[in-house]
Structure 1
Amino acid sequence: MKLPVWHRGKNLPLVDRHIEAIRRVITHHTELKGYELMIETTLLQKLASAADRDGVQQLVVGAVVQHGANILLLQRPADDFMGSIWELPSGKVDPGEPLDQALIREVKEETGLDVAAIRDYLGEFDYQSGGGKKSRQLNFTADVTSSEPVQLTEHDAYTWTSLAEEPPVTDAVKEVLRRYRVS
């Protein structure tokens, strides 16, 4: 799906709309739609502002989902951008969508799992998307209500991988998982 950088002729950059959405959440909600928000909304606002300042064109959110001593990894389709790599459940933030809501939606869309809580911010990494956009993936820990069944809609496979092993992921995701281990 291609996301516009400008919205409804108001000339608001994509990330500015995210900031406004986060401000609405800060103003009107302390708990959102049945899940526990453990991440400070001011942090979410700072992350969106930093991305805007850095010229990021597409925000992406990623989740480290743990079950016992294992974490959930998804394998991208072979014919997709970065085909066959293993990655965290992750995806694009829609225009005007708060970061926490995007994380909940993406975990649900990609795995069928429901997020119960968003706990820790694990850092970010930048990359160029398949469409050439400067993208930034913001990574968080997410608790789910149940670890099964995993229902894939966009990936070829999933695995619950032990953190004691070296996971088959990119160096950027390895760094996120290193931070997760020490958090």
Structure 2
Amino acid sequence: MWCAVWGFEVLPKQSIGESVLAELLERASTDGVAPRVGVVVEREGAVLLLERAEHVAGRRRPLSLPGTIVRTGESLASAVARAVAEETGLTVVDIRRHLGSFDYLSSAGKPVRREHFAVEVAGVEPIRLTNYARYRWVPLDGDLPVTSSVRGILEAYQG
């Protein structure tokens, strides 16, 4: 996240350790996959999930975790903070731990690796959405309306 007034980058605390983040980014490069990030934000036993506006009649679209692509030359810590700020308006103050990853093909057919992180935010209100129509706080012990890949990440988060 950039401070427009001073022109420098303000990174969240990284309890996870900077070397872990650098290693994950290097591994993605070595494996030839584009890095993306997904972020778990929790409030009182519920996780923040985002819902796109597109709707297919008779079908519920799975909800998503906040996330984004990692820009060329951008650190994972910056991408995590930017994803949460841009998609929810919340501010990441700590990247606590890595939860795992999964690989998939983008809509353009390119290999992608989405690395997921548990974060602490400065506060959970107000949520200001940009790319999504709605958000929901879904109890972690309930029925999670997400893909099996995201379900695996949330199980790792709970473990």
Q: Does the alignment reach a TM-score above 0.5?
A: yes
Is the Cα contact below 8 Å between 1:125 and 1:137 reproduced in 2? yes
Is the Cα contact below 8 Å between 1:77 and 1:84 reproduced in 2? no
For residue 65 of structure 1, the aligned residue among 24, 28, 41 is: 41
Structure 1 runs of 4+ aligned residues shifted over 3 Å read none
Is the Cα contact below 8 Å between 2:11 and 2:81 reproduced in 1? no
Instruction: Give the structure-1-normalised TM-score.
Output: 0.76
For residue 164 of structure 1, the aligned residue among 137, 141, 154 is: 141
Aligned to 1:107: 84
Is the Cα contact below 8 Å between 2:11 and 2:77 reproduced in 1? no
CA distance in 1, matches of 2:26, 2:66: 23
For residue 54 of structure 1, the aligned residue among 31, 55, 58 is: 31
Aligned to 2:54: 78
The reply to whether residue 136 of structure 1 matches residue 113 of structure 2 is yes
1:117 deviation in Å? 0.7
Aligned Cα RMSD in Å? 1.5
- Letter matched to residue 63 of structure 1: V
Q: Alpha-carbon deviations, 1:36-64, whole Å to 9, x = none?
A: 211111111211121122220x2111110
Is the Cα contact below 8 Å between 1:37 and 1:119 reproduced in 2? yes
The runs of 5 or more residues in structure 1 that have no matched partner are: 1-31
SS at match of 1:36: coil
**Higher relative contact order (CA closer than 8 Å, sequence separation 6+):** 2
Is the Cα contact below 8 Å between 2:12 and 2:81 reproduced in 1? no
For residue 36 of structure 1, the aligned residue among 13, 16, 21 is: 13
Q: Alpha-carbon deviations, 1:139-181, whole Å to 9, x = none?
A: 0001111101111100111000100102100000000000000
Instruction: Give the structure-2-normalised TM-score.
Output: 0.87
CA distance in 1, matches of 2:61, 2:87: 15
**Matched length:** 147
The runs of 5 or more residues in structure 2 that have no matched partner are: 1-8
1:34 deviation in Å? 6.0
